[in-house]
Copies of this chain bind each other. A is one copy, B any other.
Amino acid sequence: MADTDTKWVYSFGADDSDGSAEMRNLLGGKGANLAEMSNLGLPVPPGFTITTEVCTYYYDHGETYPGELDAQVEAALRAIETSVGAGFGDSSNPLLVSVRSGARASMPGMMDTVLNLGLNDETVEGLAEKSGDARFAFDSYRRFIQMYSDVVLGVDHYLFEEVLEQHKTDNGLILDTDLADDDWKAVVAAYKKIVEDELGKPFPQDPREQLWGAIGAVFGSWMNQRAMTYRRLHGIPAEWGTAVNVQAMVFGNMGDDCATGVAFTRDPSTGENIFYGEYLVNAQGEDVVAGIRTPQHLTIAGKERNGSDLPSMEEVMPEVFKQLADVRQTLEAHYKDMQDIEFTVQQNKLYMLQTRSGKRTAGAAIRIAVEMVSEGLISEADAVTRVGQLDQLLHPRLDPDAPRNVLSRGLPASPGAASGKIVLSADLAEDMAQRGEKVILVRIETSPEDIHGMHAAQGILTTRGGMTSHAAVVARGMGRPCVAGAGDISVDYSNGEVRVGGRTLKAGDQLTIDGATGEVIEGEVPTIDPEMSGDFATLMSWADSIRRLKVRTNAETPVDAATAREFGAEGIGLCRTEHMFFDPERIVAVRRMILAEDVAGRREALAELLPYQRQDFVELFRIMGGLPVTIRLLDPPLHEFLPKSDEEIAEVAKLAGRDPKAMTDRAVQLHEANPMLGHRGCRLGITYPEIYEMQARAIFEAALTVSGGNDVSVFPEIMIPLAATKRELDILKERIDAVAEAVFEERDARLEYHVGTMIELPRAALRAGDLAKTAEFFSFGTNDLTQTTFGISRDDASGFLSEYERYGIVETDPFVSIDIDGVGELVSIAAERGRTTREDIKLGICGEHGGDPASVKFCESVDLDYVSCSPYRVPIARLAAAQAVVEQGKT
């Protein structure tokens, strides 16, 4: 891979740089940006970067270096010496360097930094003399010994800390600043003894040995356990390697004309265009982070805003501050993004040590992006790609300044915060909500029969179940905050009590949950409502003008449908009709239908359900007037609708006028070993024709009711679930068409409708060319498609999926972000084959992946027509769809 002419070492700083920001893959992020800043003429202490290719070579060749490396390092070192005017190992005028790792992507878990390298028993004296500050020199030496011994030599750092504490105690000293030069000399001697005791040989005195030791430690740390785990979890290939940066030391701790600091070019919390940062006079970088001294604000404005008494840098070092403010402008103009920078001032001279794109809150990201567009720095398309997770912006959140008494913590299962009275049953939740009370539904776990109560509640708390439990999935779908699996809390239904950590709360007590953090909090905590206007609205309008994918919503209730339209949904992509069956008013008829012994009995019960279903559809069609509405016919196995407990069975049997025994028998008969793969979906439609016929009738009657004379266009799309063969679609479409004809004749009116299918089985994806002969649209049901393609039941995955993530077998939960390599290939095959048969077939995705940005981007890459997601994720999908267009170069 490398010939003898390979350049392994790139210099930066001083007058010329070998590298630039574009060379990130070769130089790592830190090295590339140091070179780039040098090129911009910014004051960067000179140094060099050993490339990532050396790392790769190192591991490909039994942990040895390329032959030419030594000479190239020497030459680069010489260049630093020349630039700085000091000699590496020169006892009267020593050059000190820092050694830092720097991979392509930021990577915790690797060796980070060794400072002050080059110090030894001789050069420390030179440094003392040259700086005129023996205390500074020996303090630097002891810092170096400790850091080097820890990260390069593997000597536990607590050994050094003990010695330092002992020295302070013995001498009645409290703060590090209380130690004088002699103290530090004594500490240095003690430190060197520790190293010799631990390793059986003295601390290395040769600066070149120190340097190669540190370089080796950086490369070695690329393959340590933490780094490998991190790479596996973040999909970073080991082949990328890390670079090593060696840079002349500058000192912020040489006196009061010295300082060190960190800054953001804009406020990372709010995004406001102010210079935001902190500094410390007479300190090294680590002191700012360590928090031993209170950092001071950079600007006067910052100082005042935070009510600080300490003087700002703008006041203390006005000249240097002005330089730094110029650097801020230069970097933003150059990088066209908010930067996170590190700097050091040595004897009134500014040095830049790092710049990188700054982390920011979602709100700040939006404001920065929008303002940078108006400043002419970036385009609208750029702005759209600058914003990540919107989730936290779309839900109420707890006022960060309000006090809170956290009782326990569960899984952050559905974002948003809510307060309300504790209520332990779904029915009561509904009753209280109807009386205008705010409630939090607290259950051990939830089931489909609790849906009306979940809908009525402000939030849901369960003590059992994971991120994909019923409560979590349904709550996310509804946009209700949910904390799931709070195992510390016990629910006592019979006494109407909730116990947690020795405390007992009664039903009716106030409780607050934060679904973004999993916190369960006593009493009521004020919340802040999401802000959908302003910059957010501006950004979303840009996203809408860029994106190609339509965004629909998954909704069954008028409330959800209306919410989704406000969030910008362009139709309903999935209306799960079975959710309409669990309503207490209807479930009895549903159960009578299931228990009927013949077709006549089923038809009678279905006739009772018809008006309800029709009314459901009337409301949805009205709300979605002018937009398409995809209605999925009954999907789950019938036994899901049957009661479970003996009491419930008795009650239902009485209401239905049936023998409880008959109901139990039927439940046993309907029981399935693997209901996910059982008698459900269109298999029910085939074997019980009257169910789908009732549903089709309700749809057509509702559609004509709404469209009749109302000037409201209705576009019903009837979706057949779980098809595996064309023949299933043929049989069911024929029946649906017959119902349509009958209704059209009865009402003497017609309308256009489509019949399509879900692609949620691997066979359906493979046979898509055949299915498209009958189906007028496909909707990818990627939840079930993931279950069947992976052979993993979502309900049972918790037993091993977290371990699978730990082992790096799956990078992300495939139920959260679509498995592009497996499930994705099936989607892509089906899209291609479907279009080959029917050029204009409409293709969409429903299920939770429709609201996941990575999955939305995949959908764009295979040119689907729309995604459909839960109402609260509609803006997320709109943004991701726009980002996909930009990132895939389709603008």
Contacts and interface: CB of A to CB of B under 8 A. Distances in A.
Interface stretch (A50-58, A412-420, A719-727): A719-727
B677 A809 contact: no
Given A686-B803, A803-B686, A821-B767, A796 B677 contact: yes
A673 interface: yes
A789 B761 contact: yes
The residue among A687, A722, A799, A825 with the most chain B CB atoms within 10 A of its own CB is: A799
A644 to B, nearest CB: 13
Contacts of A761: 789-791
A675 interface: yes
Contacts of A674: 674-677, 793, 795-796
Interface in A784-810: 784, 787-793, 795-796, 799-800, 803-804, 807-810
A683 interface: yes
B807 A727 contact: yes
Nearest to A728: B809
A529 interface: no
Contacts of A675: 673-674, 796
A822 B724 contact: yes
A835 B810 CA distance: 25
A731 to B, nearest CB: 6
A676 B790 CA distance: 12
Nearest to A765: B762
Contacts of A672: 793, 795-796, 799
A760 to B, nearest CB: 7
Nearest to A792: B677
Contacts of A767: 821-822
A712 B808 CA distance: 41
Contacts of A808: 727
Copies of the protein in its oligomer: 2
B673 A796 contact: yes
Contacts of A725: 809-810
B822 A766 contact: yes
A677 B762 contact: no
Given A675-B673, A675-B674, A791 B810 contact: no
The residue among A731, A791, A799 with the most chain B CB atoms within 10 A of its own CB is: A791
Contacts of A825: 766
Contacts of A687: 799-800, 803
Contacts of A762: 762, 788-789, 791, 822, 826
The residue among A761, A767, A792 with the most chain B CB atoms within 10 A of its own CB is: A792
A833 to B, nearest CB: 11
Contacts of A791: 676-677, 722, 724, 760-763, 784, 788
Contact of A676 (B673, B728, B807, B826): B673
A824 to B, nearest CB: 9
A327 B763 CA distance: 52
Interface string A647-691: 000000000000000000000000011111111000100110000
A222 to B, nearest CB: 20
Nearest to A674: B793
A761 B789 CA distance: 6
A139 interface: no
Contact of A677 (B727, B760, B770, B793): B793
A722 to B, nearest CB: 6
Interface in A753-791: 760-763, 766-767, 770, 784, 787-791
Contacts of A766: 789, 821-822, 825-826
A762 B821 CA distance: 12
A819 interface: yes
A728 B805 CA distance: 11
Nearest to A638: B799
A808 B677 CA distance: 20
Contacts of A609: none
Given A725-B810, A803-B687, A673 B822 contact: no
Contacts of A809: 686, 725, 727-728, 731
A763 B789 contact: yes
Contacts of A760: 791
25 contacts: A672-B799, A673-B675, A674-B677, A676-B791, A677-B792, A678-B792, A678-B793, A678-B796, A678-B799, A686-B807, A687-B800, A724-B790, A724-B822, A727-B807, A727-B808, A731-B809, A761-B790, A762-B788, A762-B791, A763-B790, A763-B822, A766-B789, A766-B821, A766-B822, A766-B825
**3 closest residue pairs by CB, A with B:** A677-B793, A674-B793, A763-B822
Given A761-B791, A788-B791, 17 more contacts: A672-B795, A673-B676, A673-B795, A674-B677, A677-B791, A678-B793, A679-B796, A679-B799, A683-B800, A683-B804, A724-B790, A724-B822, A761-B790, A762-B789, A763-B789, A763-B791, A788-B789
